[in-house]
Amino acid sequence: MPRRSRAREVVLQVLYQDDLNPTHSLNATDEFLRARLHNHAELIEFANSILSGTRRNRPELDQILESRASNWSLERMAATDRNILRLGAFEILYTETPGRVAINEAVELAKRYGSKQSAQFVNGILDGLLPDKNQPDKNQPTTES
């Protein structure tokens, strides 16, 4: 598993914990990241950045996701799918990660941790976020001179 993919997997585990047990210790989260990422400084930094960003923007992310999930409220979604969507949406909307990469990473997490239909569900909702991103995809050539 590529290293950043592993960091996303660990962040998903923390987000899941946040969702089901919001009173857990932040010190425990830091220790968990360090242990699961084998004290690899670059991965811990990446994991902390996407974790803190997802946590900080959760109300807005939830609102956006609910507006995109036809006939689904966040409460009705499986906790795993809900948190994969939050993480993927954060990366698409707030980071330099190319949108298609963020979607692919989220779909892979859904395949691994979700139900049989999770990958399609996650892909469909996150794909709908791409037109909302104000900037063009970083991998797409621009026509500016």
* Percentage of the chain exceeding pLDDT 70: 88
Whole-number Å distance between alpha carbons of 13 and 45: 16
Residue 136 lies in a domain: no
* Per-residue pLDDT tens digits for 88-99: 999 999 999 999
Domain-embedded: residue 142: no
Number of Cβ atoms within 10 Å of the Cβ of 93: 19
Our count of domains for the chain comes to 1
The tens digit of pLDDT for each residue in 20-54 reads: 988 877 778 999 999 999 999 999 999 999 999 99
Kindly state whether residue 140 falls inside one of the protein's structural domains: no
In a domain, 144, yes or no: no
pLDDT for residue 93? 97
Instruction: Please check whether residue 145 lies inside any domain of the structure.
Output: no
CB 37 within 8 A of CB 44: yes
Report the mean per-residue pLDDT for the chain: 89
pLDDT band per the 50, 70, 90 thresholds, residue 131: low
Cα 74 from Cα 25, distance rounded (Å): 24
pLDDT at 63 over 90: yes
* Residue 141 included in any domain: no
Helix (H, G, I), strand (E, B) or coil at 94: helix
Q: In this predicted model, what pLDDT tens digit does every residue of 100-116 receive, in sequence order?
A: 999 999 999 999 999 99
* DSSP-derived secondary structure for 21-90: -TTS-HHHHHHHHHHHTTT-HHHHHHHHHHHHHHHHTHHHHHHHHHHHSTT--GGGS-HHHHHHHHHHHH
Q: Which domain CATH number covers 99?
A: 1.10.940.10
